[in-house]
Amino acid sequence: MLELRKDIFADERDDNLKEIGKGTQRQDMLGHITGTSSYFGDHKLQGMLHLKVVRSTQAHARLRRIDTTEAERSAGVRRIIRGADVPRNLNTLLSLINFGKDDEPSLAVDKVRYKGEPILAIVADSEREAFEAIAKVKIDYEPLPTVFDVEDALKPGAPVVNETYPKNAFIYHDVYDHQRLRFGDADAALATADHVLEQRYQMSPIEHAPTETNGAIAAPDTNGRYVVYTSTQALFFSVDTCAKILDVPSNTFHFIGGTVGGGFGGKVDTLTEPLAILGAMLTGRPVRYVFGREEEMQYGPPRGAERIYIKDGVMRDGRIVARKIRAYFDSGAYTRLSSYAAVKCAAHLPGPYTIPNVYGDVYCVFTNRTPATAMRGFGVTAMDFAIECQMDKLANLVGMDPMEFRILNAYRDGDMKAHRREAKNTALIECVQVAAEKAKWPIRDEFRRASSRTDGGGSRAAIPPTPTDSRARPTAPAQQRTSYDRLPPTVTREPPREPPPPSPPPPSPRPVTPSHGATRFSSVFGTRRR
Amino acid sequence: MAVTVKTFANASEAAGALSSDRSARYLGGGTLVMRALNEGDVSISTIVRAQDQALSRIDASGPRVTLGAGVTFARILAERDLSFLHAPARSIGGPAVRNMGTVGGNLFAPNPYGDFTVALLALDATVAVQGGFGARDIPIEEFLQARDRQAGTLVLSVSCTRPASADAFRYRKIARIKPKGGSVITLAAHLPISGGRIVGARIALGSMAPTQIRARAAERALEGRSLDTATIAAAASAAAEGTSPSDNALGSAWYRREIVGVHLRRLLSGQE
């Protein structure tokens, strides 16, 4: 049963919220339950053609020769579209906000970088005839060495997946091959911690598995415009992406979306619209391009895989004194949105805890796997899984209750976060207290009395002295298996570490003047003139 | 070339159409054939259907049970006299797939599907087929060994002898996703007991080879013995012998070999 705890933080908001706690009709509910909602696929247009793509059977290969002579003669084939037919056959999604370099063709030209990469698009009278023509296409591949592991991909001499990023890592601000967070001196703190625990966490790609697969129907309209029915969950983003790829003004298109048959992040990549529109441009007929189920599962973009190393230093009294993290996002063969996921991840470290020494390196890595994309909370989800597993292991290691351990280390209002912002409206302590109460999980009085609004700030608001990072990139440690429950108690006992003396915040990277013509720093854009 | 659908009033006409056309497939419930067509399988250009009542007949009154090839899993589950087949029928797909999927189609379902066939193999079923040269009965093992060459024949029915007791037939499907997942491995055991000893043991495995197979070494370990701990341990340790599993998204060949003995031991010792 839903219960609103309005007693908590009652003074922090106007109590005029009136939606939560009562039934509210979703605006699209009636259409869904009566089966009258209209999806892109419900549009059957006169003379509509069908587009299917020829996909790479290789994970990494040079395209020696593409022979379409037999396919062109196949019954019902109207047009075979090659990479050379795409006006701007190189794009990256976030180029719309000037982030990242164009790295992905709509149709592969010189080589393929993942299994399932589109090489040709075949437009035919029926899906069946398109499939029959696909079976007649002959492609001569020259297989290239592959790399499927994020750490292997970063090693010297690894196969170059995407020539736009020759070191197999996304480059931030034209300089940095990873996102870096430094706060205090994590190595020094680890050296003096009572216990040190290093663990490796890994998460596989996850498919969004929408009921409706990705797809679009494009049809020529009057005045040289095109009407596009689409499943996109990011309609204006898709409009601009198509305008860029097809090199026309965005008002060339009239996009009609609205009902998305399940998105969850898997329908922002604008994979079907550009080819459907191009098919309509080249044939003058409506063209429908929709993923089959296997295409959606195998080649539709998933949530990316991640590998995470966490090394924590904890004192016997339960305080975490250092957290050192290395994380690798598997972007697959192209960037899509993983570059942004790594930024989000770095901004999230070290989780909702106040830890005086934090060290983070987050990489966005290219491999010969299916390109990854957005999915609910991407950039944060796997890291939170890793951090919370680690919290349980640390609590076990110091012999503390996991709930109390979290309350002890939780950030509080006024604390300094590792990325040098003051923590506000933190509320983690209250969440843990309510969760413990609801689960009838006993916690001691002192923890039940704790509040995120007291005992924060002060020395916890200080930015610790942070050594300049001059060492070479750390090398990957050997894999370590979970052994937290078998670790012997550490013998050395250091006196409780004094909190570092407060120091004035370091000078900002650039002088900040809030006037026109000033530069400002953003984690996505870097230094930018306003 | 468009796909042609041919519908016949009786099974022998359908069988004739099937055997004369290499690109023809018989459409039972459509859970395999329609999926293949939707995914662009251009090797199918003719769909053959039959509206023969005989194909959907169930004869479960006597000791010998006969199921028409078109009998769905939902109908098996609704038949009280077929309770020994309820566990394998229930392990297939979700309600929608069980409403459409048929006994005959399951004989052709590739890994990780075909769980009902594992049960039929343990029960030493007989498959009645109609080919270009007339109807005949084939032992299921022989049918499965030549399954790739059976495309031109139409399965009419499957029959088997009812197990003597509920305990004599056991079934277990290991899936990662419950209740609808594909099989990691599937096991079925028929253990007729005579005078306290097992006589004519049959153990069948799914996803342990390209088709459903018998675990003959495990059967030998059981034959003529009582079902005690030592016998079960011997059968379990021999379970992977003669198998040739492969890797797929649900499990690796190594993993399948490792766990098949564990699950056989649990099946034989009646553990959940």
- Min distance A128 CA to chain B CA atoms (Å): 7
Residue A508 reports pLDDT greater than 50: no
Q: Tell me the HSE value of B224 on the side-chain side, using a 13 A CA sphere.
A: 2
Task: Determine the residue type at A362.
Answer: V
pLDDT band at residue B224 using 50, 70 and 90 as cut-offs: very high
Provide the chain A residues 58-117 that lie in CB contact (below 8 A) with chain B: 75
Q: Which of B2, B3, B39 sits opposite A292 (nearest CB)?
A: B39
Q: A132 at the B interface (CB within 8 A)?
A: yes
Residue A509 reports pLDDT greater than 70: no
CB A422 within 8 Å of CB A414 = yes
Q: Which of A126, A132, A294 sits opposite B39 (nearest CB)?
A: A294
φ and ψ of A53, to 5 deg:
-105, 150
User: What confidence tens digit (pLDDT) does each residue in A421-458 have?
Assistant: 999 999 999 999 999 999 999 999 999 999 999 999 99
Per-residue H/E/C for A424-437 = CCCCHHHHHHHHHH
Q: A134 at the B interface (CB within 8 A)?
A: yes
Q: B34 at the A interface (CB within 8 A)?
A: no
All residues of chain B having their beta carbon less than 8 Å from the beta carbon of residue A293 are 35, 38-39
Per-residue H/E/C for A29-84 = HHHHHCCCCCCHHHCCCCCCEEEEEEECCCCCEEEEEEECHHHHHCCCEEEEECHH
**Nearest residue in A to B42, CA atom:** A132
Pairing of strands B154-161, B169-175: unpaired
Q: Which of B2, B38, B42 sits opposite A292 (nearest CB)?
A: B38
φ and ψ of A318, to 5 deg:
100, -5
Q: For the beta carbon of residue A76, count every other beta carbon within 10 angstroms.
A: 19
Q: What are the tokens at A146?
A: 């592959």
ipTM over 0.90: no
Residue A91 carries which DSSP code? B
Q: For the beta carbon of residue A484, count every other beta carbon within 10 angstroms.
A: 16
- CB–CB of A52 and B40 under 8 A? yes
Q: B38 at the A interface (CB within 8 A)?
A: yes
CB B221 within 8 Å of CB B136 = no
Q: What are the tokens at A270?
A: 């604008």
Asked if the peptide bond before residue A511 counts as cis, ω within 30 degrees of 0, the response is no
Q: A204 at the B interface (CB within 8 A)?
A: no
Q: What is the pLDDT at residue A520? A: 54
Which residues lie closer than 8 Å to B181 by C-beta, 6 or more apart? B175, B250
Q: Tell me the HSE value of B80 on the side-chain side, using a 13 A CA sphere.
A: 0
Distances in whole angstroms, Cα of residue A208 to Cα of each of A71, A266, A367, B70, B161: 33, 6, 20, 35, 45
CB A65 within 8 Å of CB A82 = no
Q: B42 at the A interface (CB within 8 A)?
A: yes
Q: B249 at the A interface (CB within 8 A)?
A: no
In total, chain A counts a number of residues equal to 530
User: What confidence tens digit (pLDDT) does each residue in B153-176 have?
Assistant: 899 999 999 999 989 999 999 999
All residues of chain A having their beta carbon less than 8 Å from the beta carbon of residue B35 are 293
All residues of chain A having their beta carbon less than 8 Å from the beta carbon of residue B38 are 292-293
Q: B61 at the A interface (CB within 8 A)?
A: no
pLDDT band at residue A11 using 50, 70 and 90 as cut-offs: confident
Q: B199 at the A interface (CB within 8 A)?
A: no
What is the average pLDDT across A71-77?
97
All residues of chain A having their beta carbon less than 8 Å from the beta carbon of residue B41 are 131
- CB–CB of A52 and B39 under 8 A? no
What's the pTM?
A: 0.86
Q: What is the pLDDT at residue A471? A: 56
- The residue among B3, B42, B47 with the most chain A CBs within 10 A of its CB, best to mutate, is B42
Q: Which of B3, B40, B42 sits opposite A292 (nearest CB)?
A: B40
Q: For the beta carbon of residue A100, count every other beta carbon within 10 angstroms.
A: 24
User: What confidence tens digit (pLDDT) does each residue in A332-347 have?
Assistant: 999 999 999 999 999 9
- CB–CB of B39 and A126 under 8 A? no
Which of left, alpha, beta for B49 (phi over 0: left; psi -120 to 50: alpha)? beta
- CB–CB of A127 and B40 under 8 A? yes
Residue A517 reports pLDDT greater than 50: no
Quote the mean pLDDT of chain A. 89
Asked if the peptide bond before residue A350 counts as cis, ω within 30 degrees of 0, the response is yes
Sign of CA dihedral B100, B105, B110, B113: positive
| Buried-exposed string B114-140: b where 16+ CB fall within 10 A, e elsewhere | bbbbbbbbbbbbbbbbbbeeeeeebeb
Q: What are the tokens at A403?
A: 């709930």
Distance, in Å, from the CA atom of A82 to the CA atom of A288, rounded to the nearest integer, reads 17
All residues of chain B having their beta carbon less than 8 Å from the beta carbon of residue A132 are 1, 42
Distance, in Å, from the CA atom of A287 to the CA atom of A108, rounded to the nearest integer, reads 21
